[in-house]
Chains A and B, each alone.
Chain A
Amino acid sequence: MTNVLQYAWLVPIFPLIGFLIIGLFRNNLSKQMVGIIGCGSVLLSFIVSVWLFSNVNADEAHVARYFDFISVGKVSIPFAFQIDQLSAIFLLIITGVGTLIHIYSTAYMHEEEPKHFARYFAYLNLFVFSMLLLVMGANYVIMFIGWEGVGLCSYLLIGFWFKRTDYNNAAKKAFIMNRIGDLGVLLAVFWMMQKFGTVNFTDLFAAIAKQHGEGTLSANDPALVGITLLLFLGATGKSAQIPLYTWLPDAMAGPTPVSALIHAATMVTAGIYMIARSNIMFTLAETTSNIVAIIGLATAVLAATIALKQNDIKKVLAYSTVSQLGFMFLALGVGSYTGAVFHVMTHAFFKALMFLGAGSVIHGMHHEQDMRNYGGLKKYMPVTHGTFLIGCLAISGVPLFSGFFSKDEILMGAYANNPVLYFIGLAAALMTAFYMFRLYGMTFQGKFRGDEHHHPHESPKAMTIPLVILAILAAIGGFIGIPALFKPNAHALEKYLAPVFEGSAKLAKPHEINHNTEWGLLIGSTIVILAVIAFAWNKFSKYQKTGVEETGMGKVLENKWYVDEIYNAAVVKPLLGLGAFFNSVIEKSGIDKLVNGVGRGLQYLSRQFRHLQSGVIGNYILIMVAAIVVLFLLGFGFTPDIKAIKNLFGK
């Protein structure tokens, strides 16, 4: 069935064509046309993706080489795509969720002028194209092209409303923080090239497995740890982990569908994709895996604490995304790669759903984003409310919703690795349930607290239909990953992905948890989560605006642990200061002064010498005579033949 996979290039080509058409003819196309082209191109990609998905080779990855991208000496980088189970799943998520969000955007962005509307869809299509390159690339360089491309699109879309300076700042921040991570990826690529001579996934992983088998590459080899750490640095940038996570909440400046697509469902999971792709290296580099797990968990907890006190609906969701991404990294760190990919998928469903729901609320509330001014929206927007509730239940991990399965798999993986990780993770999960239902309660329950002239209203069909589809997926999406606990061998996703993670599965130490323990943990955690939900629901349904400022810990959380301020003081200011110092001190009064000084010194000297040209003849003659005398004396000095002179004078 490889013939089908030959057509893999069709997947990214549609959004690219869409981007080019919309981009070049943005002034001539009607909004309707733009919408059709924008959505249609991604839909076509989705159809091809489904086709590819169902035809993926069972045993080995299909690599399609198109042309030599870079080929110099030992460096050989083909422009090639790799289709295997992992990329096929990501293709489905990207194009599937992408299509829904494109459709949703046609309504959400409808108020924009035609040329900006077209610009928006051009960027969005370009993003889908880049993201597809990222997951389809058959080597790290092609992946990196997509990796940077999505960063660019994220930049363009966050700053979409470019009149607002703070939006532009947010966009810039996102791009620069991503760049820090990108440097890590780039260095990792160079290192791999030097160490293994290739960056093609199939060759590289085969080489590593072979070297490890031969014993020339030990587990936890320093080079391997270095490479994986650098890759992980890249992942922290793209997937918003400590220490590079602060751009993601700011990125909420972009239009809400963008937040849903880029900053929740797809781009931010690129880091997880990359690590899952490189699973064999991470499994071998145990040190890195531990760091990944710890950073992931720390991010999950930190972001969850911040989310507890945010009042902007999108900010809550943003921190929730950071926190959920932390969970995924925890999964990667403990070696549960399937769990991570599973959570990527379910998270794509429910987080996209919630962002779109939030967009629907914002749309209905005429761009009001402060939850304190919401309340009682259940009545005004029933579809949004219903679907949002499903999303909340899914993310909180209420049994039978999708989030339950994926989160359970991650937490069980963590428990198998180290019970401490499990309990901290559970705490983060509890906080998740709390802030999500705080959001839900404040928004949909209770009484309407906004201005009367807001007139909240339900959104149009183009927005609600994607919501409903996503809600269905968020509700039932988990059933592709039924844990062995419920029914042995029912984990469809695990079976599907097995070939990708085969290499690392062989290397990993088996962790088995006793079924009784697992049942106990599952039931226990479920009960606690349900209790938290009930508490939060109850508490925030009665929320009233108090106007009292937060104090103490609450204030610290509301201000996001002051991380932005710390970064500002520790990195941004000193760098700018250094720049200013170089500019004004070293450059202007240092080097340039030195250079000009040479010129000025020469001028000074020439002025001094000019005094000799006094015009007084007597002086000239004096100098002449003095010079003659000096030369005369020197002449004697240089003539060693004193005798001849003596003869001249003497007898």
Chain B
Amino acid sequence: MILVSLILIPLVFGLASFFFKGNDAPKTFALIASVLVLATACYAISLPPGSLTYSRSWLSVLNSNFSLGTDGMAKILVLLTAISYPIIFIATRNNQYKDANQFYALMLLTQAGLMGVFLSTDCLLFYFFWELALIPAYFLCSKWGGDKRIQVSFKFFIYTFVGSLIMLIGIIYLYSKTSDHSFAWSSFTKVVLTEQEQGYFFWFFFIAFAIKMPIFPFHTWQPDTYEQAPTATTMVLSGIMVKMGLFAVARWLLPVFPQMAVKMADTVMILSIIGMIYASLIAMKQDSIKRMIAYSSIAHIGLMCAALFANNAAATQGVYIQLFSHGVNVIGLWIVANAIEQQTGTTKMSELGGLAHKAPVLAILLVVMALANIALPLTNAFVGEFLMFNGIFAFKPIFAVVAGVSIILAAVYTLNMIQRVFLGEASAFLKVTDIPKNTVIALSLIVVMIFVMGVYPKPMFHLGEQVMGWVTAK
């Protein structure tokens, strides 16, 4: 029941939020809802993994159940989702959105969708929540986005929707092949397919997930969307929603197509690594902070995707850790970008400069975020990247060498960004003051997480280890 409430709380509060009026009430309401979710999630995570399951008949005609379950990976992502929303709401409290009640309602709906995706153990239910997360995001982008929002959010929607539909075909086909005609995870993993079928449907699923992550060359929706979407939505998109793709690969793709995953590992990893280098090189040339973060995110996701396919314990654990770390860090970066935009009205590096004089606190916090972004030791990202690179090296050393180049490139573009935005002579923005308190609070929370997880990642490993027990226990 506790799992259902993780989905229900944001759903109910989200729907209720539509009936609010004014600007501040929905903000506070959404914050309360998200804190409630966080409390519930913390409680759920503290319980042992086996004790958390829920199952009711849902679409009995199709033999699909409303069944939820958790393991370590789901717990990590549930925790990420639960932690992110309050932080996002706190950090963007000063952003004014027209029709705030609708905005926050939709935001909470995405949370419900995300929770559902991470918790469901029934494939149809999974698909349902997958879409539930997508559709509010589309409306958020198309109504509150930047100048090119209609075009961009349409592209985003079509892109991800095409992926979803391809996946749906795969789901239906697999469903028809299950021995007991059910959508349950446990039945899906027992499906016996010929090699040819595996070959096709592996890609059906993979492309859907690859678009979501996104990895090269399915990524072009992402920089545009991140740039145009309202910042709070971008944070959700880049911090949590792209993790859906990786999560889905780990939860659905690898267990369902184990032989194919081994066979295709080289292809997928090469694709991911090309994407990493490619995105890093492009990130070096970006002028907009937002686009730079977007490309940097593509590079990081590429690494995680490659590590998932490296098929060893170290890499997989690294991915789990990194799912959380990257989520937190990238939200931190977006908060910084948002603060800059709120203060100066632009995110173009060429127009900024010398902000460190005016906003030293922001500068320090940004430097911490940026260092976590380039995985400096004792930040949370180092632990994950270290394990992932280790796993990739164990798989094929050459992959680790090539992927390692992105570590260097990451330093290049990140330091460039710091330099062009914060260092140098103060630019024309004389009005800039240091950031407001709510941003400082949000960023401080993230900084604390960065260091605690960076120095003492054991609790996270502890969570992550439940994954492997669960997967092998099937």
Contacts and interface: CB of A to CB of B under 8 A. Distances in A.
Chains A, B in direct contact (C-beta < 8 Å): yes
Nearest to B410: A179
Contact of B404 (A159, A186, A582, A599): A186
12 contacts: A144-B377, A152-B376, A159-B423, A165-B424, A168-B424, A175-B411, A176-B415, A194-B394, A580-B285, A582-B281, A583-B285, A595-B159
Given A72-B314, A73-B317, A587-B220, A168 B423 contact: yes
A180 B408 contact: yes
A60 interface: no
B386 A152 contact: no
A176 B377 contact: no
A72 B377 contact: no
Given A67-B456, A179-B407, A72 B461 contact: yes
B419 A579 contact: no
A527 interface: no
B313 A74 contact: yes
B155 interface: yes
Contact of A190 (B217, B281, B394): B394
A73 B220 contact: no
Nearest to A592: B220
Interface in B337-393: 354, 356-357, 360, 371, 376-378, 382-383, 386-387, 389-390, 393
Contacts of A179: 407-408, 411
B383 A176 contact: no
Contact of A191 (B354, B397, B404, B416): B397
Contacts of A141: 386
Nearest to A587: B282
Contact of A176 (B313, B318, B386, B408): B408
A191 B281 CA distance: 27
Interface string B299-323: 0000000000000111001100000
Interface string A563-599: 0000000000001101110110011000110011001
Nearest to A68: B458
A579 B284 contact: yes
B449 interface: no
Contact of A145 (B221, B283, B360, B378): B378
A172 interface: yes
A575 B281 contact: yes
7 pairs of A and B residues whose beta carbons are closest in the complex: A73-B313, A190-B393, A145-B377, A579-B281, A162-B423, A579-B284, A579-B285
A162 B424 CA distance: 6
B172 interface: no
Contacts of B422: 162
A145 B354 CA distance: 30
B377 A576 contact: no
B457 interface: yes
- Interface SS of chain A: helix
Contacts of A596: 155
A183 B410 CA distance: 12
Interface string B400-427: 1100110110011001100100111100
Contacts of B360: 115
B393 to A, nearest CB: 4
B415 A172 contact: yes
Contacts of B412: 172, 176
Given A72-B317, A72-B318, A190-B394, 15 more contacts: A67-B456, A70-B387, A70-B461, A73-B314, A75-B390, A115-B360, A149-B377, A152-B371, A162-B424, A175-B415, A176-B412, A179-B407, A187-B393, A190-B400, A599-B158
B281 A172 contact: no
Contacts of B318: 72
Contacts of B408: 176, 179-180, 183
A67 B456 CA distance: 8
Contacts of A599: 155, 158
A576 B404 contact: no
Contacts of B284: 575-576, 579
B207 to A, nearest CB: 13
A596 B376 CA distance: 38
B386 A70 contact: yes
Interface of B is mostly: helix
B208 to A, nearest CB: 16
Interface string A173-214: 001100110110011011101100000000000000000000
B220 A72 contact: no
Contacts of B429: none
Contacts of B382: 145
A71 interface: yes
Q: Size band of the B side of the interface?
A: 35 or more
Contacts of A190: 389-390, 393-394, 397, 400
B461 A579 contact: no
A628 to B, nearest CB: 33
Interface residues of A, number: 52
B186 interface: no
Contacts of B458: 67-68, 71
A492 B156 CA distance: 71
Contact of B390 (A159, A182, A193, A579): A193
A558 interface: no
A587 B408 CA distance: 21
B321 to A, nearest CB: 9
A646 interface: no
Nearest to B413: A579
A370 interface: no
B189 interface: no
B419 A583 contact: no
A165 B419 CA distance: 8
Nearest to B411: A179
Contacts of B18: none
Interface string A133-150: 000000001001100110
Contacts of B203: none
A595 B156 CA distance: 11
B155 A194 contact: no
Contacts of B371: 152
A296 B354 CA distance: 40
B286 interface: yes
Nearest to A70: B383
Contact of B393 (A69, A194, A592): A194
Contacts of A168: 419, 423-424
Contacts of A191: 393, 397
A511 interface: no
Interface string B417-445: 00100111100000000000000000000
Contacts of B401: 187
A651 interface: no
Nearest to B357: A163
A583 B383 contact: no
Given A70-B387, A145-B378, A583 B286 contact: yes
B468 to A, nearest CB: 9
Contacts of A595: 155, 159, 220-221
B381 to A, nearest CB: 12
Contact of A163 (B354, B376, B378): B354
Given A71-B458, A72-B317, A172 B416 contact: yes
B45 to A, nearest CB: 19
Given A70-B457, A162-B424, A582-B282, A187 B376 contact: no
A74 B314 contact: yes
Nearest to B412: A176
A582 B278 contact: yes
Nearest to B376: A148
Nearest to B360: A115
A187 B404 contact: yes
Nearest to A146: B377
Contacts of B159: 595
Interface string B93-133: 00000000000000000000000000000000000000000
Interface string B218-253: 011100000000000000000000000000000000
Contacts of A69: 457
Contacts of B425: 163
B230 to A, nearest CB: 22
